[in-house]
Structure 1
Amino acid sequence: MGTHTRPGESGMSDRDTVLGRVRRALADVPREERPEDVPVTGGRPDGARAPDAAADLLARNLADYRALVHRVSPARLPVLVAGLLAARGARTLLVPEGLPERWPAAAAAAGVRLCPDDPRATPVELDAVDSVLTGCAVAVAETGTVVLDGGPGQGRRRITLVPDHHICVVRVPGQVVDSVPSALERLDPTRPLTWISGPSATSDIELDRVEGVHGPRTLEVVLLEG
């Protein structure tokens, strides 16, 4: 018969085991070295893929995460946004400061009420908004991820977490990079970064997927080409 050891009987807790492994892994790291002193490596160098190939990969990976992906020219973007809102019956659209006025113009002309990003808005008030339209800071092709940093046209983090429907516009090719390391080179770590790969989702112990628990149930990514 085998011998089974109960937790704690060996004299070493799980915490001690994990910390011991960390110490061994760091044994050859100089004490004065800081994380920012070591360059991040891995993945393809930015630009290794042709812009069209990077955009195609981004679209495939976003779709794998159950995001809805649309590709459109700048001239057609306002009509597309209006159509996406009409398809959901959305009557209110949250628009952050700095968002190009053209993007929601056709929706407003069709009767959708544009709601500014009001810092005083409560979670209940944000939850009552049908949809939110934002830009992004960067998008990662290899992981199917869009990153928001609170810059112009993106707004505060909570406006993309509370409303049930998020339309996010990615400029192609300017905002698309191949890999996470390439994205990190463009991002300011002091800003509030939100990394989004598909709609919010979680699974219980039976692996039953539930969407919309921690954010919007529907994520639509518009690749603005040209």
Structure 2
Amino acid sequence: MMKKLFTNINNKDKSRALEGLIEHSTPSSDFFLLVVLSVLMATFGLLTDDTAVLIGSMLIAPLLYPILSLSMGIIMSDFSLVGRSFNTLLKTMILTVGTAAIITLFFTPNGAEYTHEILARTRPSLIVAAIGAVAGFAASFAMVKPKLSETLPGVAISVALIPPLAVVGIGLARLDVATVFSALSLFGANALGAIFTSMVVFSLMNFYVKRGLAQKVVHDEDAKLKEEDGA
């Protein structure tokens, strides 16, 4: 029964999932616009202690895709996809932290106390890593199953990658080294947990056989990016 969950997947679904994953993790202007909008919402939500706004920021954040494509590249031994995904992830982190820091400098007075939502993102633990692991498993599994793909927004909320990075920016703006490292540790625990379990899922689903398709899709998406930059 458990074996069928991972092996009873047709080639069409695998190809669709792989193409969608690479497309959504492409570092396009649309991707980074969503990142900026997400971190703006997250930072305002953190500064005002508004959970609803934070949830909204997680729903539009595309950060889960480069993490999953990084996992896919690792299990395929496709160093081009790994490098591409890591580069996108790094740029996203820098953009997120920088934007959050700027917002904090402009919208919060000196000496303002941290809100409950900010403090909640400065407590890394094994439970946080476990949450990231479960979310990574759920996201990678749902992505391949057409009937389950609509659950991905809920998974994005559970893994919550943008808020900890926004807290890193808030701590940086206030020159609070302890907050920066604590929030960064929480993000790392979440991300590593998601990467590990999604690698397990993609391996069990034998995505390695789609390496040729992955290289083709990456080539096509990068060509579109060059056209976009040249327009």
| TM-score, with structure 2 as normaliser | 0.26
Q: TM-score normalised to the size of structure 1?
A: 0.27
Bigger share in strand: 1
* Structure number with higher relative contact order (C-alpha < 8 Å, ≥ 6 residues apart): 2
Higher Cα radius of gyration: 1
Query: Which structure shows the higher helix fraction?
Result: 2
